[in-house]
Structure 1
Amino acid sequence: MPRLAANLTMLFNEVPFLERFDLAAAAGFSAVEFLFPYDYTVEQLRDALGRNKLQLVLHNLPAGNWAGGDRGIACDPARVQEFRDGVDQAIAYATALGVPQLNCLAGIKPANVADADARRTLVENLKYAAPKLSAVGIRLLIEAINTFDIPGFFLNRTQQALDIIAETGSDNLFVQYDIYHMQRMEGELAKTMENNLPRIAHMQLADNPGRNEPGSGEINYHFLFAFLDKIGYQGWIGCEYKPAATTAAGLGWAAAYLKR
């Protein structure tokens, strides 16, 4: 049985962010995730989680100026100190809110940076962050993202992520496997999950095309959920999709999994 977490950046976005926790709980979710907590105080987020008995299972490290087009800074040689400062900020939020894992977005490679320099910067940043998170009991994740939705995103295939993890030599670095992104980039979803299960700490979902709710496109989630049970996946699956209409109207696919 998959453990589903509502991605509050994308779900229930008909209402202000802090009200989305209430709607997620009312819909039957026991856990949530979102991109960033940094626009809110720890107290605001702790209250929203606590009054709804929700667990926060994931958020991202600071990723630069999101509204200005940044999609992560970890591969940018000019922003290493900014990255390191962000690690400390993320740890402060995660430890206060009981978050077990943080995702690092590699970012879009700057046009004036060579691939080798971007990779070296990413590896060194991960070598810095992984032990700092390990010291406070938090896992560090990296995520491959498709280059159709985010052209130029530096980390875009599962094997690339695994190679970078191997290069860091860290035992506290894992894959966040986004089913939608990897369907667009490489397919072979089930076999990739099975082959790399020990390194996959978290998953996210959306259907393709459209990035809408499961059942709206070509990905057979009924099969994948049964397959994940079969191979023993124990992590959370974040529902990071764009509701085709309202969030509540599109949650029929999840009804069997949201009985709390």
Structure 2
Amino acid sequence: MRRSQFIRNSLLATGAVVSNGSLSAFSEERRNRQENRPFNLNYGPHQGQFENHAGKNILDQIQFAYDKGFRSIEDNGFSGRSVEEQERIGALLAKLGMDMGVFVLDKGGNGANTLAAGKQEHVDVFIKGCRQAIELAKRCGGKFTTVVPGDFARNLPLDIQTANVIEALRRGAEILEPHGIIMVLEPLSDTPDLFLRTATQTYLICKGVNSPSCKILYDVYHMQRNEGDLIANIDRCWDEIAYFQTGDNPGRREPTTGEINYKNLFRHIYDKGYRGVVGMEHGKSVGGKEGEVKLIAAYREVDNFID
């Protein structure tokens, strides 16, 4: 008897041979497990990124993201949701073991309410937002809130504006620090009127505030546009960076659509020990369900950095 026939007969005798259909189903299940496994880094989809598959309901979007291997979300508009919806989001995240990434501090700084101006009424609005953030964090289990100090106050010397921003942020940190909440300052590239422009400038301000509740949100898209030299600047500012966001340039879409080598960048921050949320604050290069599939595939590609 041939060896192959002997093995087959032995397997038949023990019931170990399965049908082609069963083998196919097993292979499909195994492939799905591989495709939907958790990522190496903790990428956080933004609200609306999977609404073509999951629908408009944020809870369904969270569940869909979890099923695809994501273990956190971002919700910039969290403060504008009803208390009931905020609590439902928090409960689902806790059930799934997912993290809430950043939510934007309500009126945390903008063109009409700039902390650089040193005006008490602007600081009062900011402080009110800090107090509100405590309650928001309790409902969602999050600890990061995005702060943008606002526009330049061009009637004042730059150093005076910097001192005004530091002073206001110190007051906010005093409120947030006992609750373990971190305001992450985000330098932006949207308009040259914005006071906070680079990671190194933000590093200086965080050192001036000198609080664990005031750190840098390093948005790779904005920093590629404003200062470049990404990995070197990340290293320079590392001890003040608490959060990352992504988006390729040009276009602010998913990784692999622009000039940024995200696989190398993700490998670098992973090797440095970063295990926090990486917020996916960007659009998609393709619309509909096809674009959402492409988005997931892009993150699988750039997350494949462990040899």
Return closer, same or farther for 1:211/1:29 CA change in 2, 3 Å cut-off: same
Q: Distance in 1 between matches of 2:249 and 2:201?
A: 22
Query: Pairwise CA RMSD of aligned residues?
Result: 2.6
> How much has 1:49 moved relative to structure 2?
4.3
- Aligned AA (1:197): W
Deviations 1:189-226 (A, max 9, x none): 11122232221110000000000100001000111111
Q: Which runs of 5+ in 1 are unaligned?
A: none
Return closer, same or farther for 1:73/1:239 CA change in 2, 3 Å cut-off: same
Secondary structure of the corresponding residue to residue 155 of structure 1: coil
Task: Tell me if structure 2 keeps the 8 A contact 1:107–1:153.
Answer: yes
> How much has 1:41 moved relative to structure 2?
2.2
Q: 1:63 aligned to 2:107?
A: yes
Q: 1:160 aligned to 2:201?
A: yes
> How much has 1:93 moved relative to structure 2?
0.7
Aligned to 1:248, which of 283, 292, 300?
A: 292
Q: Distance in 1 between matches of 2:99 and 2:212?
A: 25
> How much has 1:101 moved relative to structure 2?
1.9
- Aligned AA (2:107): A
Aligned to 2:279, which of 228, 231, 238?
A: 238
Aligned residue number for residue 86 of structure 1: 129
Q: Distance in 1 between matches of 2:133 and 2:77?
A: 9
Q: Distance in 2 between matches of 1:142 and 1:181?
A: 13
Aligned residue number for residue 62 of structure 2: 21
Of residues 115-124 and 25-34 in structure 1, the stretch that sits farther from structure 2 once superposed is: 115-124
Q: Distance in 2 between matches of 1:115 and 1:83?
A: 21
- Aligned AA (2:135): A
> How much has 1:167 moved relative to structure 2?
1.8
Q: 1:205 aligned to 2:253?
A: no
Secondary structure of the corresponding residue to residue 215 of structure 2: strand
> How much has 1:117 moved relative to structure 2?
4.5
Q: Distance in 1 between matches of 2:225 and 2:249?
A: 8
Percentage of pairs with the same residue: 26
Q: Distance in 2 between matches of 1:109 and 1:243?
A: 31
Aligned residue number for residue 151 of structure 2: 108
Aligned residue number for residue 7 of structure 1: 46
Q: Distance in 1 between matches of 2:244 and 2:102?
A: 11
Q: Distance in 2 between matches of 1:98 and 1:233?
A: 20
Within 5 Å, give how 1:46-195 maps onto structure 2.
Answer: 46-51=87-92, 53=96, 54-63=98-107, 70=111, 73-76=114-117, 77=119, 78-110=121-153, 115-146=158-189, 149-195=190-236
Q: Distance in 2 between matches of 1:23 and 1:74?
A: 39
Aligned residues: 252
Aligned residue number for residue 73 of structure 2: 32
Which one has the bigger helix percentage? 2
- Aligned AA (2:106): P
Aligned residue number for residue 257 of structure 2: 216
What TM-score does the superposition give when structure 1 sets the normalisation length?
0.85
Q: Distance in 1 between matches of 2:62 and 2:116?
A: 32
> How much has 1:112 moved relative to structure 2?
5.2
Q: Distance in 2 between matches of 1:195 and 1:104?
A: 21
Q: Which runs of 5+ in 2 are unaligned?
A: 1-39
Of residues 167-176 and 203-212 in structure 1, the stretch that sits farther from structure 2 once superposed is: 167-176
Aligned residue number for residue 23 of structure 2: none
Highest CA radius of gyration, 1 or 2?
A: 2
Of residues 33-42 and 49-58 in structure 1, the stretch that sits farther from structure 2 once superposed is: 49-58
Task: Tell me if structure 1 keeps the 8 A contact 2:199–2:237.
Answer: no
What TM-score does the superposition give when structure 2 sets the normalisation length?
0.73
Task: Tell me if structure 2 keeps the 8 A contact 1:31–1:55.
Answer: yes
Which one has the bigger strand percentage? 1
- Aligned AA (1:142): L
Secondary structure of the corresponding residue to residue 135 of structure 1: helix
Secondary structure of the corresponding residue to residue 116 of structure 2: coil
Return closer, same or farther for 1:87/1:5 CA change in 2, 3 Å cut-off: same
Q: Distance in 2 between matches of 1:72 and 1:91?
A: 21
Return closer, same or farther for 1:227/1:49 CA change in 2, 3 Å cut-off: same
Q: Which one scores higher on RCO, CA 8 angstroms, separation ≥ 6?
A: 1
